[in-house]
Amino acid sequence: MTLQENKSVVRRFYEEVHGGNLDVLGELVDADCYVHAWRSDNRVTLSEARQGLLSQRTSFPDWKIEVHKLVAEGDIVASDLTIT
């Protein structure tokens, strides 16, 4: 995938999660995804990611995700965002 395509996938991830649609996680998140913000940079499985997001949505049902910037290099996309 191109850098722009990688950024588009990440942007769609945030849009879907913001909208509460976690059913698309299997489509957007690779089994080998490495999440640097959760659990001190440990790898998380798709099931763990889904469970964490469900827990957050339950705790904060009216949360908003605002993506300020996405930066891509190789197969890594970094996100600058605010969740309120």
Q: Note the pLDDT tens digit of each residue in 34-65.
A: 777 655 666 777 888 888 889 988 999 999 99
What is the CATH classification number for the domain harbouring 42?
3.10.450.50
Give the number of domains in the chain. 1
pLDDT tops 70 at residue 9: yes
Q: How far is it, in rounded angstroms, from Cα 71 to Cα 63?
A: 23
Residue 13 has φ and ψ, to the nearest 5°, of: -55, -50
- Residue 23 is classified by DSSP as G
* Segment (H or E) for 26: helix 25-28
Q: What is the pLDDT of residue 37?
A: 64
Q: Which domain holds residue 14?
A: 3-83
Full-model pTM: 0.83
